[in-house]
Each structure stands twice: as structure tokens, then as C-alpha cells.
Structure 1
Amino acid sequence: MSTATPAAPVISAWTAISPFGHDRGSFADGIRTRTSPVSTLDTERWTRGPGETAATVPGFEPREFLGSKGTRAMNRVSGLAVAAAKHLLADIGVEPGDERDDIGFVLGTTTGSVQSMMDLTRASLTGDKPDHVEPAAVPGCVMNCAAGQAAIWHGLKGPNATIAAGRTTGPHALNYARRLLRTGRATRVLCGAAEEYSPARAWVEHHRRGGGDPVVIGEGCAMFLLEPAELRPPGRRVLGTLEGFESRVCLDGDLAGTVTVAVRKLLAAAGVAPEQVWAATGSGFTDSRGEPVETVALRSLFGDAAVDRVPPADLLGDTASASAMFQLAAVLSVAGSAGRAGAGHTVVTTCDDDGSVACTLLRLGEPA
């Protein structure tokens, strides 16, 4: 399915809470230096998981980061989303306490908080009665809890949506936000994706992969402001323009071939030649044979120089549904330091082991 449109929205601000740190600058510095944020888990903070290392946001606890009010039962993924939205809204001049019915909120996630779900299930099985559980813990088990809490916390009364599409969540969330703007349902949209580290998520992922060597679990939230270029206030610089989206499903086992077909369709719909692509980057996905299928496809399409300009998303560990959003943030970090505003296109791809493929085309700088 291809949905290119001439009225493409722009990205004019972004932030990231990541294993590199609590703000956009920390993320950009970590990406540009290609520093690994993976570390040994603190056994005093975390119960035992399948592995001894992870890429966690340093020193992040929702109650300490956001204050005691309203955070007693807030889970980690909700805290990451609320904190990222707080940073981004401050960057664009929205004051705390302002209620805005013109700002939408779109958040991608895999399932929400796996730890909250497991904790509630355990409580229902070990309590005197199944219903002897903490009532305040129930909302945290719902997949759209993080998006809802972020909107309530910041007074965002525009459309609120949660997108769950595995590792391809990022491009789908951006396309959903673009449709909200295109149809006039929102003037601006905060669009991001969030995943938490937890022992429960680590164990689920470990068993889902067959129980082999433990995967390094990453966490964080990357978030972007999307708005029509003509409604951008004076002084707010355009960082990139969303010019296309494409998604496919691999039915023949050739995932690299499906990525190639999707990217070619994406470029053709936007009228962009491969030589106009400055950077092409994938989500770091490898298939059951250990082959980096996205990298293979992108190198065949664009060559080594374009693919090697941006570090792969797996530098942060497995960030699941947030991988493509972190990759987009990495593109903007590298482009900003290279002075590439308005010069060239970038392609961000992602795929999942269920055969789904999605990709986004971004033109750096102002709309054409």
C-alpha cells in the first residue's frame, strides 16, 4: 500500500529519552560517536532476567523524574512517553497546564507494559481471591495506557491513538499521524514510539526467539512534532519532510527481496532517484540465519556510502516497536551535524520476522 501525497507534513522538532541519556543532545552525541550504551544490569534495581546486560535509560524512574503526583501506579513505558512528551512540548513553547485540543498524540508500542501485565496476572493467582489486586494497576495493563496518560498529563485533547505493528510500528505511526494532519483532525501531532526494559519483557522475548542466547533488550522513547509547513510558526526550522510511506508483507520467504521491492515502490511514488538518497538505514533486523536482510537490500540499492552514514538501530539493543523511530532520530542527528538540511533524501526501513516490511522517505529540510 502506497500513500504518497504532495501535501507532506514536516518534522520541526524531536526528542529522545534513551540509554544515552534523558534528552535529544545526549542521544545525538551517542549516535555521532557510535558509543554502545549497553551495560551490566544493576541487580539491586532489577530482578533476574535471561541475560546480564541491557541498554536501559540511566537513572530513570517515573516517580523521581516526573514527581510524586499522579505517578504512584505509573509503569515504566508510560513514564518514558510522558517524559518525552514533556520535553518536546517545552521545546515548542507549550506551557505546562495549557490544554490544547488542536494537538494530536500518536504513540507506537508492542504491547504496552509486559511487566504490568505479568504483575497483575501474578497478583490474581497468588491473592486470596482473583479480584484481590491493586485497582490502580489495572489501567497499566492496557496497551494504550501510555498514550492516554501522556495526553491527560499534558492536556492534549486532540486525537489520541496507539499503533502496534511489531518492529514496523514506527513508519505506520508516522503515516497515521500524517493522515490526521491531512484530514484536518489535528493541527499538530506528537508522534513517537516507546518501549520499556523489564525482566518480564526480556523473558518473553527470550522465549519467543526459542530460548537461545539472550538478546540485549533496549528501551526508551523517540518522539517527533509533525505539522503542516505553512502552519509552522516563525523561527521554527524544518528538519525534514515526510514524502512517502510504503508497507509490504513477505509471502515467499525472501525478506530482503521484499524490502527491495518496497523501497523501489516508495521512491517511484515520490519521483526520487536512488542517487538522490543521501542516507539509507535499517532497523538492524537479522533473520533466522543471522543475515542482516535490510542492510543487504539497502546496499544493493544505494551502495555502501549511503548505508554507512547512520549507525544501525541495534546500537541501542532490541528496542522492538521503537527501533524505526530511534533510527529516524539517528538520521536527524547525523544530518544535523553534517549540515545536510535541505540536501538529499533518506530512507528508513524496518521489518519483522512475521514478514512485515515498512519504510519511510524523508526529505531533509524544507518541502520541495
Structure 2
Amino acid sequence: MNAVMTGPPVITGWSAVSPHGIGADAFAEGVRAQRPTLAPVDTERWNVPHSRAHLVPGFEVREVLGKKGTRSMDRVTGLAVAAVGSLLDRPGAQRETETGERAALVLATTTGSAASMMDFTRSSLVGARPYDVDPAVMPNAVMNCAAGQCAIWYGIKGPNTTLAGGRAAGLLSLNYAIRLLSTGRADTVLCAAAEEYSHARYWLERHSRGPEAPGAALGEGAAVMLVRPASAATPERPALAEILAVRSRVATGSRVRATLEACVRSALEAAGVGAGQVWAASPSDAPGLLGHLERDVLTEVCGAAAVDRVPAVGRIGDVSAASAQFQIATLLATAADDTTAAGGIALVTSADRDGSLACAVLRLAGPR
């Protein structure tokens, strides 16, 4: 029987593979303790100069997921598959409704795996013949590989979508999930995001960032939320937050500040709440001036207390396309321990250097 959308969709579960470890409990504990995750990287393994990053500790694809089906799996796919698995294996999971024909998966990313794309192209250029490549690696060079592998591993047979939108991709994927539910295309949507650390991403970021943030440390990980109609919530999978509104805009240069503020106020208006009702506001912590501007806008609209309510997502590094999912995970982990969060309004914003801006408004359920 198909679930019916009679009100705002809800988040009924979440999990993460993050620099705090694997699973929702590891992430929540790291957020509570505000444990630092920045550490030196193995420069020989990653082919980078002396550097530090926020890596998932001890994450090796074949050790975490096993040897079957992982021989040629790249890192971003392994992170996504592990995150989805950690959600579906949590207590209260209902595989019969969270997978299968009526379950969809939406994955936010920047480019998929830049390392896989570059390595595969390089092997064609440096080999004796252009076709002297490993065919098993070819799927990794396709942007939607991670989403497809998640569906194959767990039997998610509904719509399968990859959204490439940089730092705004997480909120764009959330809006896409809402549309799948509201149009009856799915009863359950696993709304995920993944970003890997790699030599390719390191060098791309190093050469494309502006001079104001040359040394911002990269982070990696994957996070996933279970989004369903409110009527589908159960005691085992209760509603953790209502998704009241998601709005997006595009602006560059001097127009970013005013456009981002307009986006935030538009989302609040669509949600039917006022700025004074915001319990917590979470910016995406873009490196450099853009991140400062985003934080300034939220402080002006919602107040400093709301912006300081939860730990900044930047504490786990620049996780780019996975930022919004980690912001929401941080909000849910914080709200689970705070009685003042019950019924509170939370804002999540994203600002990408290419001009994409987005804002989501949630109503938190608070402690359970």
C-alpha cells in the first residue's frame, strides 16, 4: 500500500560515515564531545604535499564492506554504500518498506569520484594503446556509480538519481526527495550525500580556490536521511523532523549577500514561520569569504544565539557536497539531547562558490 502525503514529509532516520567514525552513534558522540578530527595524512599514499585532512578513521573499502563485490570499488562509492548500510541496519529498520520497488535513492555529489575519472583517463593516455584500460574500473568513472551501487547492494528498486551541485547539492537532493514523494513516485526516499578525499580532489581544490582560503582542510564522508510521508512514521522509525520548506536561488559576485538573505526569508515564509522562531541556524561553512558572508546573513536574520546553537559543520573539514546532510545530522544529534529543541525551527543553508544558494526549514521533534 502506498504511503499518502497529507502534510510535510518527515525525516525518520539518519546515519553517517564521518571523520568521527562509522554510524550515527559515532557521529552523535563526536558532535557532543566536539572532538577534533584533523590529522596528518600519509603523503605517499595520497600523492599530496605535507598536508592535514579530516578523514574517516581506518576506512578501507574492503575491510568495511568485505571482499565480495568490492575489488574495484572506489572510495566515494564505498563511503556511500557504507552509510546507506549503516542506516538500513539500525534498530527499527523496516527493509520491506525502506528498500524494494517503492523506495528511491537520491545522492548528492560534486562530480562523483574525481580520482576515478582522472585515473581512468590517465591509463588510456599512458598505456601502449588507448584501450589498454581496466574495464572493471570504468563504472567508477561514471558520476552515478555510487548511487547505482547503493541500489544494487540493498535492493532499492525505485528512482535512482545523482545530483551534482557542489556545496548546494545536499539541499537540492532534499528538494528532489520531496518531489518524488509528493508526486507518488516513491513511498520512501534515502536522501544521501558523499564526498571522498583523494589526490585528485586535493589538487583540484588547491588550484581552484581563491586566495582567501588556500589552506582550508578537506574532509570526507557520507550521510543519509530516510525521508517519508508523515503518515509512514512508526514508533520504531519516529518523525525526527518535519521538512517545512526548501528554496534555492542563484547569484554571484556582489549579489550573493542580498540573494542569500532573500532565499532564507523566502524559505521561512513558505514554511509559515518567522525568523524569531528559529531555534538553530546552520551555515555550510564554505571556505573563505563566502563562508563568512553566509554566517553573517544567518546572524542578521536569526540572531547569533541561533547560529551558535549547534557545532559548525566545518569542524569536520570541507565536505563540500555532503555539507547539508552533515548539517542536518548535526542538528538531529544535538536536538536529541536538548529538551529546548522540541518543536523548534532549524534553518540549514548552503552557498556554493559557483553561485548556487539554498535554504531548508525544519521543525525538530527534539528528545525522544
TM-score by length of 2: 0.93
CA distances 1:316-349 after superposition (whole Å, capped 9, x unpaired): 1111100111111111111111134532100000
Match of 2:206 in 1: 206
For the residue of structure 2 that corresponds to 1:292, the secondary structure is helix
For the residue of structure 2 that corresponds to 1:173, the secondary structure is helix
Deviates more, 1:49-58 or 1:147-156: 49-58
Deviates more, 1:250-259 or 1:184-193: 250-259
CA contact (8 A) 1:51 1:215 kept: no
Q: Which amino acid aligns with 2:61?
A: P
* Distance in 2 between residues matched to 1:6 and 1:231, nearest whole Å: 11
CA RMSD of the aligned region, Å? 2.0
CA distances 1:97-153 after superposition (whole Å, capped 9, x unpaired): x96111111110100111111111111111110110000100100100000000001
Q: For residues 179 and 42 of structure 1, do their structure 2 counterparts lie closer, same or farther at Cα, with a shift above 3 Å needed?
A: same
Q: Which amino acid aligns with 2:10?
A: V
**Matching of residues 17-28 of structure 1 within 5 Å:** 17-28=17-28
* Distance in 1 between residues matched to 2:216 and 2:253, nearest whole Å: 27
Q: Which amino acid aligns with 1:321?
A: A
* Distance in 1 between residues matched to 2:86 and 2:152, nearest whole Å: 16
Q: For residues 205 and 286 of structure 1, do their structure 2 counterparts lie closer, same or farther at Cα, with a shift above 3 Å needed?
A: closer
Match of 2:256 in 1: 255
* Larger proportion of helix: 2
CA contact (8 A) 1:31 1:330 kept: yes
Q: CA deviation at 1:206?
A: 0.7
- Which runs of 5 or more residues in structure 1 are unaligned? none
CA contact (8 A) 2:286 2:318 kept: no
Residue-pair matches, total: 359
CA distances 1:70-116 after superposition (whole Å, capped 9, x unpaired): 001100000011111111111243459x9611111111010011111
Match of 2:80 in 1: 81
Q: Which amino acid aligns with 2:294?
A: E
Deviates more, 1:49-58 or 1:134-143: 49-58
CA distances 1:9-65 after superposition (whole Å, capped 9, x unpaired): 100100010001111111112222222201000246x23214510111011111111
Q: CA deviation at 1:182?
A: 0.7
Percent identity at matched positions?
47
CA distances 1:163-217 after superposition (whole Å, capped 9, x unpaired): 1111101110001001111111111111010000011111111111158733311
* Distance in 2 between residues matched to 1:277 and 1:298, nearest whole Å: 10
* Distance in 2 between residues matched to 1:213 and 1:365, nearest whole Å: 39
Q: CA deviation at 1:252?
A: 5.4
Q: Which amino acid aligns with 1:301?
A: V
Match of 1:56 in 2: 55
* Distance in 2 between residues matched to 1:162 and 1:353, nearest whole Å: 20
TM-score by length of 1: 0.93
Match of 1:121 in 2: 121
